[in-house]
Copies of this chain bind each other. A is one copy, B any other.
């Protein structure tokens, strides 16, 4: 395990690393010093591919911060009450779930994770909550956090703002690698429901809320909760769903619906000469999307290219599975629905 603090006051840095080690428990007992190390399960693979991704949670952090500040105006540490800690640990879980989905789109299983947490002025409590969420999600999905870095950079970051970067490594047998190359006209697009914005579209969403009559703590009947809570709904992890698909179907392509929405992400896996025809309206959106649409008077085109509008993941399957995918999918997983079809382009 290789977890360091850079540029952080020594007592703060040591305190943070000690807390992180305590949260990791036995899962932090990997070997490694300057680098973190894990055994590669060489016996299980013939022609393995390593699949990796790096990403950050973006400005979803700002919503978590504002909500905590407004809900606990009497504390200087906006994040440190029992009522609000889940907002920042949720950011940590978001980061891990997002990363898992990215490599699972290629058919890969996660092997290990690294994180980078940087802040203008290091707040050990806040950092512990965020990284605690990372550790929790890694444990839940059964792979180790093998290393990380905490950095304090007052001149680069705004003082009380932070960024969280995650890097994941996974593995897949080459013959099971999913890259969209077998997709043909007539194939179906199968969607899985999102919980909300996940980790994309927060610049627009924040602009809409902040120029409206609401604030993040406004209770909205249609949402059944505060706007802020709906915006912070956790990024879902679709690893179980993708594994289930692989077990039962020939999966031709999988797209994680992030920035760029359905059009921007589905197109990343479709071969030239083909296009995706999306049946918008064929699924239920979480109500936060309609609230943003109406409050911000957002054009439908912008809704579709900015938000996932209710679809967190899309898989491409042969049309012979049109019936089976809906009727035979296990009840304890997110329920798939038909999102559209592959057509010839032009």
Contact = CB atoms under 8 A, between A and B. Distances in A.
A35 B59 contact: no
Interface stretch (A72-80, A147-155, A183-191, A290-298): A147-155
The 8 nearest A-B residue pairs measured at CB: A167-B167, A34-B105, A35-B51, A35-B103, A54-B114, A156-B161, A40-B48, A34-B102
A33 B148 contact: no
A114 B52 contact: yes
A59 B153 contact: yes
A179 B111 CA distance: 21
B50 A40 contact: yes
Given A7-B259, A42-B48, A156-B157, 7 more contacts: A6-B200, A34-B102, A37-B50, A40-B49, A52-B147, A54-B148, A116-B165
Contacts of A261: none
A56 interface: yes
Interface of A: 2, 4, 6-7, 31-40, 42, 45-56, 58-59, 61-62, 101-103, 105-106, 108, 111-112, 114-116, 118, 146-149, 151, 153, 155-158, 161-163, 165, 167-172, 174, 177, 179-180, 200, 203, 254-256, 258-259, 268-269
A39 B173 CA distance: 10
A157 B157 contact: yes
Contact of A102 (B35, B38, B115): B35
A32 B56 contact: no
A111 B167 CA distance: 15
B55 A37 contact: no
Given A49-B39, A106-B32, A56 B6 contact: yes
A39 to B, nearest CB: 6
A33 B2 contact: no
Chain B CB within 10 A, most for which of A39, A55, A105, A112:
A55
A308 to B, nearest CB: 14
Contacts of A35: 51-53, 102-103, 105-106, 108, 168, 170
A157 B159 CA distance: 9
Contacts of A177: 31, 37
Chain B CB within 10 A, most for which of A31, A108, A156:
A156
9 contacts: A6-B58, A35-B170, A42-B46, A54-B116, A58-B153, A61-B156, A62-B156, A118-B163, A156-B157
Nearest to A201: B7
A106 B155 contact: no
Contacts of A170: 35
B56 A268 contact: no
A104 to B, nearest CB: 8
B50 A268 contact: no
B34 A38 contact: no
A30 B193 CA distance: 31
